[in-house]
């Protein structure tokens, strides 16, 4: 029996439903769910047995203040036990309100403070290049509100001219940003020499096509538009 997009979403919703408690940042989590699934299911070359493999792809969740969808996907893919999920956010749980790379298998960075992930991803891509590791891809997921942070714009401005072809950014756009930009989010990246695609952030096939679009010699950004965050 073929696994449908609807059944995937139902299963991930069930896993997210196991995580209870306060300060869940539900909208921040659910906005990323489809992006995370398509990346982990069809794009990223990662696996529980490869968490220390130098040749693995790197995925950095910059939008770490809403990690429930991330934990659900990690559980679905076998990185963490499903039994961990009900303890989400508890003192003794490894699954904190922000992910911790020292506690959660497969997590590359501790995150949650806005504006940190993309600069770290640029440094990661540069570090891999310096080591002669040209095959691993670096992916970072940021929220549109993070694009209000100047650190991200410095990273965008550097990565394009540096030709960081193995660097990929996904901006999940749920209309949370305080400052609009002429031409939209993609235009900011394109002005710095990036390859850019804007897609429906709930459409798995559109996401996959955007994630795998060729971009020789340039970093790549996918702006994944989802429903506006409710107040």
Q: Tell me, what's the pLDDT at 208?
A: 98
Confidence band of 49 (pLDDT split at 50, 70, 90): very high
Higher model confidence: residue 8 or residue 223? 223
CA distances from 70 to 16, 80, 231 (A): 9, 11, 22
Residues 6+ apart with CB under 8 A from 89: 19, 21, 22, 23, 24, 95, 96, 97
Kindly tell me if the per-residue pLDDT of 21 is higher than 70: no
> How many percent of the chain have pLDDT more than 90?
71
Q: Is 23 exposed, middle or buried (0-12, 13-18, 19+ CB in 10 A)?
A: exposed
pTM of the model: 0.92
Residue (of 173, 169, 167, 231) closest to 202 by Cα position: 173
Range in 21-35, 83-97, 124-138, 188-202 the model is least confident about: 21-35
Kindly tell me if the per-residue pLDDT of 199 is higher than 70: yes
**Residue range 132-181, pLDDT digits in tens:** 999 999 999 999 989 889 999 999 999 999 999 999 999 999 887 766 66
Kindly tell me if the per-residue pLDDT of 38 is higher than 50: yes
Kindly tell me if the per-residue pLDDT of 230 is higher than 90: no
Higher model confidence: residue 182 or residue 218? 218
Kindly tell me if the per-residue pLDDT of 193 is higher than 90: yes
> How many percent of the chain have pLDDT more than 70?
92
Q: Which residue has the tokens 């039994």?
A: 83
**Residue range 109-131, pLDDT digits in tens:** 998 888 899 999 999 999 999 99
Kindly tell me if the per-residue pLDDT of 1 is higher than 60: no
Q: Which residue has the tokens 């002005």?
A: 191
Cα–Cα distance between 151 and 115 in angstroms, integer? 6
Higher model confidence: residue 57 or residue 97? 57
Question: Which three-class secondary structure state does DSSP give residue 82?
Answer: helix
Residues 6+ apart with CB under 8 A from 5: 204
């Amino acid at each position: 029996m073929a696994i449908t997009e609807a059944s995937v979403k139902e299963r991930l919703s069930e896993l997210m439903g196991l995580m209870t408690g306060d300060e869940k940042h539900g909208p921040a989590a659910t906005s990323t769910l489809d992006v995370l699934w398509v990346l982990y299911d069809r794009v990223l070359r990662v696996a529980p047995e490869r968490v220390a493999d130098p040749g693995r792809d790197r995925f950095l969740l910059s939008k770490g203040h809403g990690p429930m969808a991330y934990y659900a996907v990690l559980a679905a893919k076998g990185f963490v036990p499903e039994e961990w999920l009900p303890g989400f956010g508890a003192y003794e749980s490894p699954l904190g309100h922000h992910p911790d790379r020292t506690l959660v298998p497969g997590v590359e960075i501790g995150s949650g403070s806005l504006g940190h992930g993309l600069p770290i991803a640029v440094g990661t891509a540069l570090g891999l290049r310096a080591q002669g590791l040209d095959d691993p891809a670096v992916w970072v997921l940021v929220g549109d509100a993070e694009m209000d942070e100047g650190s991200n714009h410095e990273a965008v401005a550097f990565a394009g001219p540096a030709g960081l072809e193995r660097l990929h950014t996904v901006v999940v756009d749920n209309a949370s940003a305080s400052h609009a930009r002429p031409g939209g989010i993609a235009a900011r990246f394109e002005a710095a020499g990036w390859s850019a695609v804007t897609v429906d952030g709930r459409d798995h096939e559109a996401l996959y096509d955007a994630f795998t679009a060729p971009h020789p010699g340039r970093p790549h950004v996918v702006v994944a538009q989802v429903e506006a965050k409710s107040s």
